[in-house]
Amino acid sequence: MPRPLLVTADPDALDDLLRLAAAAGVEVDVADDVPSSRRHWATAPIVVIGPDLIDPFARSRPDRRPKVVVLGRDLDDGSIWQRAVEMGAEQVVFLPDAEPWLIEAFADAVEGGGSDGLLVAVVGGRGGAGATTLSAALAITAVRRDLRTLLVDGDPFGGGIDLVFGGELAAGLRWPELGATRGRVPAAALAEALPTMADLSVLSWDRGDPAQLPVEAVQAVLGAARRNCDLVVVDLPRSLDEASREVLATATTAVLLVPAEVRATAAAARVASGVSLLCRDLRLVVRGPAPGGLLGADVERALGLPLVGELRPEPGLDLALERGEPPARRARSPLAVLCDRLLDDLLGTELRPVA
């Protein structure tokens, strides 16, 4: 894979740039003059030129290319902008002010810097509504469509979503090991560190004492996940903590799963009120059976939310989950059919595999 190119013979500038590249978790190529830079000039995702080589580059007029950055030394040097333009640079930066920007630029260059994947949060309208099952089924269905997908357990009191897959012994990081995460996390490193279950990357809680996740850890992990995935599905509890609120605030869509029951609909109204304050796109799924004949349209009217699907009862699902057999494994099961419809209706044409 092409690497960022640093072009400088200034040891202090090189030390600073190498430190920032290490902070971004990327490897780089280094050249100490204009001729030696030509080998990687065209293929490097980003080129940073040190202050000592600005004039030689301006005189040599290299082939124009995007993402050329000049590292300035003197803020009072007004001529640096003209010389940067002459050599085709897009940006002039000064340290230490530009350190966060350069870290982001290095990481984006290696990770592609494209648009983030979509984030879908799933919340139950009442306890036992089946939000965890729907979250896992939606993620499995997305994988079946060849979409890079991450399933995230957002409920520290849920027992661990890895149990849905019978994957409690699968090697890989869980939330407790990521609680101290801050800043920008290399997306590829996160993907490699998480366990894989049913061809799906899963970030679960364990069976230890539940802990409060710092918002900064949630931001860092989900940011890396969205840079690496087409779709991130998060199973959230009804009682929202700070971490859950952060998920909803950044979610593309939230799905509220409500059993077709009068009492469940009444309970879901309070959940919907809290969720809708954080996520503008809140959709409704109604789950059967309906003991009193309540229709999905009835629940839709009562909650004032758009109905995107109704889930028919699926015989044997509870027993399969108890055995650690993941849901939606059969492409034509009621749950898989619903999830296919959800991917079409909720995410529409926006959802595209990451190149």
CATH class for the domain made up of 5-111: alpha beta
Helix/strand/coil for 6? strand
Neighbours of 230 (CB within 10 A): 22
- Which pairing describes strands 5-7 and 47-49: parallel, antiparallel, or unpaired? parallel
Q: Which residues contact 218 (CB under 8 A, 6 or more apart)?
A: 243, 246, 247
Place of tokens 């979610």: 251
Strands 200-203 and 68-72: unpaired
First to last CA, the chain: 14
What fold does the segment set 118-350 form as a domain? Rossmann fold (3.40.50)
Tell me if 5-111 shares its fold with 118-350: yes
How do the domains of the chain map onto residue ranges?
5-111, 118-350
- Measured distance CA(303)–CA(261) in Å, rounded: 13
In this prediction, the residues of the chain whose per-residue pLDDT falls under 50 are: 349-355
Q: Select from 278, 161, 279, 152 the least CA-distant residue to 225.
A: 152
Residue 248, token pair as written in the block: 């909803």
pTM here is: 0.76
Tens of pLDDT, residue by residue over 144-170, are 999 999 999 999 999 999 999 999 999
- Rounded Cα–Cα distance for residues 224 and 212 (Å): 20
Find, among 4, 341, 325, 282, the residue nearest to 136 by Cα: 325
CB 18 within 8 A of CB 28: yes
Which residue, chain included where needed, has tokens 């057999």? 325
What are 197's strand-pairing partners?
200
- Whether 274 and 252 have beta carbons less than 8 Å apart is answered as no
Q: Are strands 29-31 and 68-72 parallel, antiparallel or unpaired?
A: unpaired
